[in-house]
Structure 1
Amino acid sequence: MTGVEHLPETGGAVIAINHTSYFDFTFAGLPAYMQGRGRKVRFMAKQEVFDHKISGPIMRKLRHIPVDRESGAASFYKAVEMLKAGELVGVYPEATISRSFEIKELKSGAARMAIAGDVPIIPHIVWGAQRIWTKDHPKKLFRPKVPIAVAVGEPIQPTLPAAELTALLHSRMQHLLERVQESYGPHPAGEFWVPHRLGGGAPSLAEATRLDAEEASRRAAAKAARRPDTAGGPE
C-alpha cells in the first residue's frame, strides 16, 4: 500500500477508484482507515446492493449511498451533503467494471461532486483484485496468497470545469495504474487478469468497450420487453 499520506485525517474528499473487481471496495477503504485512525469511506453503490436481504442492512448501517442509475440526482445531492459534512465518499468514475482492466472513459460525477462540495478528488488504484472475482470469470474467493496492491495518488483540487477535471482525473489514474503495474510483479502472458497492453488475455480497451455496449443494449431490450405495452388503448 502506497501513498497513504495523501489522504486527509479530517475533512471531506472524493475517493475515485478504478473498477476491475467486485471486491474493489474491500481494499479501497483501507488507506483511509489507516491514515485517519479508523476513518470510513462511504461508498456509492447501485440500489440493488441495498435491496439485497444480506448486503442491504450492512450497507445502510455503514451509511453508504444508494444510487438509482436511472435517476441519480438524489444520490448526487446526498453525496455532496456528506462531503460538506467532512465525509470521504468513494466513487467508481468508470461506473462499471472495466473488462480490459484499463482505465476506461470516466463519467463526470466525481468531478461534479468535488466542485459542488469544494473538496479534493483523491485517485485510488486497486490492482490484483480482479484475480479473485471479476466480470465474465468465475469467482475464486479462497485462492491463497493473491497479492493486492493499493495506491493513493496526490489530491486533485476542484479548480477546473467538470469536463477538464474529469480528463485530468483520467490521466492521473492511468499514470498511477501503470506505476502500480510496474511494481506489482510478473504479469504472465495470456492470463485472463493481465491487460492486453501487457500481453495478457484480457480484451483490449476497444474490444471491451464494444462488449460493454452490447451488454447495455441487451439490458435495455430486456427492460423494454418487461415494460407494459401502453401504446394502444383497450380494444
Structure 2
Amino acid sequence: MIYWLLRHWIVGPFMTRVFRPWVVGLDNLPEHGGAIIAGNHLSVIDSFLMPLVLDRRVYFLAKSDYFSGTGIKGRLVRWFFLAVGQLPMDRSGGEKSSQSLDAALQKLQEGQLIGIYPEGTRSPDGKLYRGRTGVARMVLDARVPVVPCVMVDTEKIMPIGRRLPRVGRIGMIFGEPIDFSRYYNLEGDRFVLRSITDEIMVTLNRISDQEYVDVYASSVKARVEAERKALAARR
C-alpha cells in the first residue's frame, strides 16, 4: 500500500516530471513470473528512477548501511527504503551476504522482479566494471531469465558525493532477456558462474556506450581512497 502510494501519487509523478525519463525496450520485461533485472550502476538514484517506468514492482538489493542508521533520521531512511522495495544487502561476504541473497531468491520464487547491480557498487568514473558472480548464483538457483538494463546519464544528475539531484533528463535501455537454462544444475562450477556473469556484463557493455574495465569497481575505489589518504599524509 505504501509502495503504491509513493510510486503513483507522491514520489513517482514528481520524479517523472523532473527527470523526464526516455525508455527503449520496455517490452523486453516479462509480464508475469520472476526475472532478474541486471543493470549498470552509475548513481544512488538508479534504484528509484528505473521502477518509475515499470508496471510491475521491482525489488532491489541495497547496501545494508541504509538500514542500520540510528535516531529519527536513521529510522526514516530505513522506513523509506523498505517502503520502496529495497532489500538490505550485506556486502561483507560469507554467511551474511548469503542470507541477503536468500531474501532476493525468495522474491524470485514468488514470481517477483529483482533488480541487481552485478558490479556490486556504483561506478566511480562512469566506466563499466567487472561483475561479481552473486548474480549468476541467483540465476541458477531461481532459474529465471535476466533482463539487462542500462541507465543513461544518472551520474550527471546525481554523482557520487552529491546529496540532492540536479534537474536533467535520464534514459533507460532494456535489452532482450538472456536465457541461461543451458547452465542449470551446474551451480557448483565456478567457471560457469564466471561465464554467466561475464555474458551479462558483455551485454550491458554492448547496449551502452560505457568503456569496460576488467577489474572490480570496489578495487578501483579502494586504490583511489588509499592514494587520497597518502596524499593527505604528505601535506
TM over 0.5: yes
Between the aligned partners of 2:145 and 2:77, the Cα distance in structure 1 is 29
Larger Rg: 1
Q: 1:19 to 1:7 in 2, by over 3 A?
A: same
In structure 1, the residue matched to 2:171 is: 149
Aligned to 1:16: 38
> What is the deviation of 1:140?
5.5
The equivalent residue for 1:48 is 65
Q: CA 1:130 to 1:40, structure 2 compared with 1: closer, same or farther past 3 Å?
A: same
Greater Cα shift, 85-94 or 57-66: 57-66
- For the residues of structure 1 that align with 2:106 and 2:214, how far apart are their CA atoms? 37
Give the Cα separation in 1 of the matches to 2:118 and 2:103. Answer: 17
Greater CA deviation, 114-123 or 61-70? 61-70
Q: Structure 2: give runs of 5+ residues left out of the alignment.
A: 1-22, 69-73, 184-191, 228-235
Query: Which of 205, 208, 226 does residue 174 from structure 1 map onto?
Result: 205
Tell me the CA shift for residue 68 of structure 1: 1.3
Q: Deviations over 1:87-111 (max 9, x none)?
A: 1011111111112312101001111
- C-alpha contact (below 8 Å) 1:18/1:94 kept by paired residues: yes
Q: Name segments (4+ residues, structure 1) moved above 4 Å.
A: 204-210, 215-218
SS, match of residue 126 in structure 1:
strand
Q: Closer, same or farther in 2 for the Cα pair 1:168/1:205, shift >3 Å? A: closer
Counterpart of 1:226 in structure 2 is none
Aligned partners of 1:208 and 1:155: how far apart in 2?
A: 25
Q: Which residue of 2 aligns with 1:212?
A: 221
Identity value in percent? 27
Q: 1:96-107 residue pairs with structure 2 within 5 A?
A: 96-107=121-132
Count of aligned positions:
187
Q: Is the 8 A contact 1:20 1:101 kept in 2?
A: yes
**Separation in structure 2 between the aligned mates of residue 213 and residue 134 of structure 1, nearest angstrom:** 18
1:1-235 to structure 2, matched below 5 A, reads 1-33=23-55, 39-51=56-68, 52-70=74-92, 71-135=96-160, 138-139=162-163, 141=165, 143-144=166-167, 146-159=168-181, 160=183, 161-178=192-209, 205=213, 211-214=220-223
Counterpart secondary structure, 1:54: helix
How far is 1:69 from its partner? 1.3
Aligned residue for 1:125, secondary structure, equals strand
Range that drifts further, 60-69 or 90-99: 60-69
8 Å CA contact 1:100–1:205 kept in 2: the answer is no
- 3-state SS in 1 of match to 2:24: coil
Q: Partners in 1 of 2:110 and 2:224 — Cα distance?
A: 38
**Superposition TM-score, scaled by structure 2 size:** 0.72
Q: Which has the higher contact order (CA 8 A, sep 6+)?
A: 2
Opposite residue 212 of structure 1, the aligned amino acid is K
Deviations along 1:185-225, whole A, 9 cap, x unmatched? xxxxxxxxxx7x6xxxxxx958995642325769xxxxxxx
How far apart are the structure 1 equivalents of 2:100 and 2:215? 31
Once the two structures are TM-superposed, the CA of residue 63 in structure 1 deviates from its matched residue by: 4.2
- Alpha-carbon contact 1:14-1:121 (below 8 Å) kept: yes
SS in 2 for 1:72: helix
Cα distance, 1:164–1:207 mapped onto 2, change above 3 Å: closer
Root-mean-square deviation (CA, aligned residues, Å) is 2.5
Q: What secondary structure, in the 3-state scheme, does the structure 2 residue paired with 1:168 have?
A: helix
